[in-house]
């Protein structure tokens, strides 16, 4: 039986200011086994990054709050782990994160080698001497395709793709069990995107890590993931295996909309389909189904009550359409 690595149950996260409450994540549940990759897909503002920051316990100190739910990592309740323990044993050691923008993820006034070394020494204080840390830094740079002699260079001396490789080296420096990659290729051009993605996949397999890949690109999901979870307005509207999402015959209207907006190589199209409307304001979410203002199939019940989940094996769709269909 596969070993469970992380289990998230009914997670609710909000950002509170003096004036309003942003409901960023609204009751999501998913789990991931050892060695698996799950793709968290959705538009900007769907709550993907907030989910990642909640796992890392890196929500903004003054405003971000986990309201309810649980995050279990290797059977440990992550919400009860003290901050000092999170810093010492989890963040960067058992769970690594590749942040979205390599330009801002690196410190501009510290050589990249020292930034990789910081991650290594922080988690291996007693075990490695200076020479061992140096050789590990060099090995990490080589691993991500950067010559070791460039360890003394500063971030501004690297291209965007190379900066992202350094960020990946930092995230992998302690060989974490779980890698969270938050849109790791968004800031890169298409050719470099493909290289970085291939490198992450190869390293992940080599080191036997699980991964949560956050992206809005279904093409990337198809290449890399075993499971997919589609997020909308802080909720998981559909989740399943890669086959369920890419070849199954039932889909949430939002997932259908996402697929409709991808160009198809074997079809001539004048205009790509779009999903009408905008993501709802997270300070004032609609009653019932959050997608109802944009949904072509919206029924009266959709505006009144949250959708009942349709479940078929591992495939889950939160939509009244299928609940209604199943009960007929």
Residues of the shown chain interacting with ligand SF4 in the complex, contacts defined by CB under 6 A: 252-253, 289, 291-292, 295, 297-299, 302, 307, 319-321
93 Rama class: left (phi>0) / alpha (psi -120 to 50) / beta:
alpha
Q: Which residue number, 46 or 199, has a Cβ lying nearer to ligand SF4? A: 46
Shortest gap between Cβ of 237 and ligand SF4 (angstroms)? Answer: 7
Shortest gap between Cβ of 253 and ligand SF4 (angstroms)? Answer: 4
Shortest gap between Cβ of 14 and ligand SF4 (angstroms)? Answer: 22
Q: Compute, in degrees rounded to 10, the torsion defined by CA atoms 305, 310, 311, 317.
A: -90
Q: Which residue number, 53 or 233, has a Cβ lying nearer to ligand SF4? A: 233
Q: Which residue number, 213 or 319, has a Cβ lying nearer to ligand SF4? A: 319
Interatomic CA distance for residues 120 and 136, integer angstroms: 8
Q: Which residue number, 28 or 120, has a Cβ lying nearer to ligand SF4? A: 28
Spatial contact of 171 and 105, defined as CB atoms under 8 Å apart: no
Interatomic CA distance for residues 106 and 301, integer angstroms: 48
Classify strands 21-33 and 210-215 as parallel, antiparallel or unpaired.
unpaired
Shortest gap between Cβ of 224 and ligand SF4 (angstroms)? Answer: 27
DSSP 8-state code for residue 91: B
Length of the chain: 328
Shortest gap between Cβ of 10 and ligand SF4 (angstroms)? Answer: 19
Interatomic CA distance for residues 292 and 16, integer angstroms: 25
Q: Which residue number, 158 or 291, has a Cβ lying nearer to ligand SF4? A: 291
Beta carbons within 8 Å of 257's beta carbon, 6+ residues apart = 273, 274, 275, 294
Q: Which residues of 32-61 are buried (b: 16+ CB within 10 A; e: fewer)?
A: bbebbbbbbbbbebbbbbbbbbbbbbebee
Shortest gap between Cβ of 18 and ligand SF4 (angstroms)? Answer: 33
Interatomic CA distance for residues 220 and 230, integer angstroms: 14
Shortest gap between Cβ of 303 and ligand SF4 (angstroms)? Answer: 8
Shortest gap between Cβ of 256 and ligand SF4 (angstroms)? Answer: 10
What Cα–Cα distance (Å) separates residue 87 from each residue in 56, 95, 96, 208, 209?
10, 11, 12, 23, 20
Q: Which residue number, 253 or 282, has a Cβ lying nearer to ligand SF4? A: 253
Q: Which residue number, 123 or 290, has a Cβ lying nearer to ligand SF4? A: 290
Shortest gap between Cβ of 249 and ligand SF4 (angstroms)? Answer: 16
Q: Which residue number, 204 or 251, has a Cβ lying nearer to ligand SF4? A: 251
Spatial contact of 24 and 282, defined as CB atoms under 8 Å apart: yes
Spatial contact of 113 and 158, defined as CB atoms under 8 Å apart: no
- Residue 206: Cβ-neighbour burial (10 angstroms; 0-12, 13-18, 19+): exposed
Q: Which residue number, 71 or 318, has a Cβ lying nearer to ligand SF4? A: 318
């Amino acid at each position: 039986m596969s070993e469970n690595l992380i289990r998230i149950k009914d997670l609710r996260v909000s950002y509170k200011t003096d004036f309003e409450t942003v409901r960023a994540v609204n009751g999501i549940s998913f789990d991931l086994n050892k060695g698996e990759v799950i793709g968290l897909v959705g538009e900007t503002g769907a709550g993907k990054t907030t989910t990642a920051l909640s796992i890392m316990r890196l929500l903004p100190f003054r405003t971000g709050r986990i309201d309810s739910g649980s995050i279990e990592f290797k059977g440990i309740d992550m919400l009860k782990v003290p901050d000092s323990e999170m810093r010492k044993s989890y963040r960067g050691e058992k769970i690594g994160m590749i942040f979205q923008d390599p330009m801002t993820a690196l410190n501009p006034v510290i050589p990249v080698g020292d930034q990789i070394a910081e991650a290594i020494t922080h988690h291996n204080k007693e075990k490695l001497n200076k020479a061992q840390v140096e050789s590990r830094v060099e090995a990490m740079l080589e691993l991500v395709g950067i010559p070791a002699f460039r360890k003394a260079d500063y971030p501004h001396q690297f291209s965007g793709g190379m900066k992202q490789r350094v960020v990946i080296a930092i995230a992998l420096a302690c060989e974490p069990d779980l890698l969270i990659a938050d849109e790791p290729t968004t800031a890169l051009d298409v050719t470099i995107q493909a290289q970085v993605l291939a490198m992450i996949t190869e390293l992940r397999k080599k080191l036997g890590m699980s991964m949560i890949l956050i992206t809005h690109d279904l093409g990337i999901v198809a290449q890399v993931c075993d499971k997919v979870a589609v997020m909308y307005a802080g909720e998981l509207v559909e989740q399943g295996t890669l086959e369920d999402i890419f070849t199954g015959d039932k889909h949430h209207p939002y997932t259908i909309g996402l697929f409709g907006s991808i160009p198809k190589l074997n079809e001539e199209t004048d205009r790509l389909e779009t999903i009408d409307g905008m993501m709802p304001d997270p300070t004032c979410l609609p009653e019932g189904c959050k997608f109802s203002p944009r949904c072509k199939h919206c029924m009266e019940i959709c505006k009144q009550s949250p959708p009942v989940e349709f479940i078929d094996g591992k495939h889950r769709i939160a939509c009244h359409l299928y609940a209604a269909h199943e009960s007929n």
